[in-house]
Every structure is written in structure tokens, then in C-alpha cells.
Amino acid sequence: MEAAVVDPGSKLLKAGPAIPDQAPSMIIPNQMKRMLDDGSINDNSSSEDTIVDPVVRGLIRDWDAMEDLLHHVLYTGLGWEMGNEGQILFTDPLCTPKAVREQLVQLMFETFNISGFYASEQAVLSLYAVGRISGCTVDIGHGKIDIAPVIEGAVQHIASRRFEIGGMDLTKLLAEELGKSNPLVNIKMSDIEKIKEQYSCCAEDELAYEKTKNACQTEQHTLPDGQVITIGREKYTVGEALFQPSILGLEAHGIVEQLVRCISTVSSDNHRQLLENTVLCGGTASMTGFEERFQKEAGLCSSAVRPALIKPPEYMPENLSMYSAWVGGAILAKVVFPQNQHVTKADYDETGPSVVHRKCF
């Protein structure tokens, strides 16, 4: 049985057997409804207290919900059999606390009775997916942005940066902007999310974005309830906020300048190797025009060495940026488990959850 690879994001969980040149077999929302005391499910999906997010801003926050989600993924989705559980590799977001790693390995061995465990950082795995062991990842997820330099397969934590903004904040921004241009229409956040995915794009540069104030072609969009809204400049605002965080009310540099500043804290001997092997990942990075805008901003940045994006190999699945950490995990699983570099049940029984820090890097 192939090892399972699980990448639990803030919005989507990616899982599947470790087959590196294929997309994960499961890509599912991780938001769940809380069961009521009588064992029934509350069908009132608009009631906020019934909705559970196991992962918030990239980190597991609700362990009961995560256990239920993993039970569904492993036994129903991947077809594991009770009493014959296999090996599993998890992706770790940047800055994962030690306590979270220990609680995860404890859950997997004590509740799921797995035979082997490994975890590796998402930044390293995303580079593996494009055939690199050194470089820099810019991961724009639903709940956070992680920028991480990686040298010879090791994240340079002192130079890494996490920003507590992500796709969910861009969705809220779009809701505000659409509310201004369509004041008489009440749009659900779930519909806003779909509008963002369908329409959002990046302007060619800051000047082009400014021009959309006066001249921007509008489109009519029909909501599920039949109401019609107008979408114009708003579709550019979401992407522009990543390059002009002031749009979000933040006093911060744009994403390319943030990358350059992170790298500046690493030895100058590694600047070229890191910046010229930059990988974009996360669902937001797949926005129309984002790569082109990123490259254009890179040509204007303050660094002597300009960031350059790595294109994924042709044999990799399409839209790799959306699940590159999972693909890298599938590649790594083909190495660590056959070579017995993982945490075994015997390791766990002997040392306890802290073994994860010694065996998983």
C-alpha cells in the first residue's frame, strides 16, 4: 500500500497516495458542521456556531474536528481498513509550534494506529515539486502568506517571514468593494469567494491599476438567488492588494519587496541561488496575471539580484502551484519510508511524541 500524503490547508485539504506525477486524489474543503448533542447535524448552515474550521491561518486549532476529518479522508476517501493502517506523511506550514507537531504524531499513532509517520515543511516540499533543493517559496494561502528561503533542503527560519493575511482577507476586501458598487445587494460570503475565484486578476502594473479608476470594462454577474451585480475595477483590487498592502489598510511593503528583504538577511553568497529559484504556491498565486505582475515587479525591486520564477516540469500536473507541497510530499514519501527514515511505531512507543523533532526535519 502506498504511503498517504496529507496537506491540511486553511481552506482545502489535499490528500492521496504518494504518486508524485499526479494531482492529489482528494481535494476537499476542510470546513465542517459541528454535530449537535443529540447526534444530528444542524442543517442551518447560516448559523455560525455550527461551522468548524479545523485549520486556521495554516495551523490546526480544533483537534476534535481534525480527527473527524482525517477519519473521513483515510477510511472513506483513501480506502484504509481498520486494523491495517499504513504510513502517512504530513506537510508542515512555516512556524509550526513544537506542541502542534507532537499532538499530531500522538493523534496518528494512538488514535489511528498508523505504522509510520513523517512530516516535512511545506517550503521544502514545494521546491522538491519543481526539482530543486535550494530556493525560495512564496506561499499565498487562504489564511497566511509564508516566505521561506531554503538552502540544501533546510528552511532558513531566521530569514523566513509569516504574514497573517491571505485569501480569506482578500475575499473580505472584495466583499467591501462590491458592497460599495452594489449597495442595494446583500451578497453572501460564499458567493463572494466564488466571484473572487472567477473574476479576480492582476493589473499589468501599478499605473495600469490606477487607470482602472476611470476606465474599466464592467461585467454583469448573476447571483444564485437571481440578483444581478456589476463587477468592474473590483476584480483588479484583490490582486493589487498583494503588491500594495495599503489597500488592505496595512503599512507594509508589497510581496516582491518582502521577498527581497527576507533574502537580505541570508549570507550574500546565497542570494542568487535563492532569488533565481523562486517558487510561487498557494491557491491565490494561481490568479490570472499574478505571475506576470510578480515578474514585472521583480524587475523593479531594490535588489541587485532580481527574483526569477521557476517553471514546473512539463510532466507535473497542471495547476501545480495549488498543491505543490502535496506533490513534494509524495516525492519525499518515496524516499523516507523505503529507507526507514520515518518515525516507526517502535520509535514512538520508546520515546513518545517528542521523537518527531529528532526524526522529521
pLDDT along the chain (361 residues), means of 10: 94 95 93 65 51 91 95 96 95 94 97 97 97 96 95 96 93 96 92 95 94 87 94 95 95 94 92 96 92 94 89 86 95 96 96 95 73
The structural architecture, per CATH, of the domain 4-123+318-359 is: 2-Layer Sandwich (3.30)
pTM: 0.92
Distance, CA of 343 to CA of 352 (rounded, Å): 10
Pick the CATH number of 167-245 from 3.30.1330.10, 3.90.640.10, 1.20.1250.20, 3.40.50.300: 3.90.640.10
* CA distances for 38 relative to 47, 53, 68, 146, 356, angstroms: 17, 21, 17, 41, 38
Domain ranges of the chain: 4-123+318-359, 167-245
User: For residue 8, which amino acid is it?
Assistant: P
Contact 93, 161 (CB under 8 A): no
Distance, CA of 291 to CA of 256 (rounded, Å): 11
What is the per-residue pLDDT for 36?
59
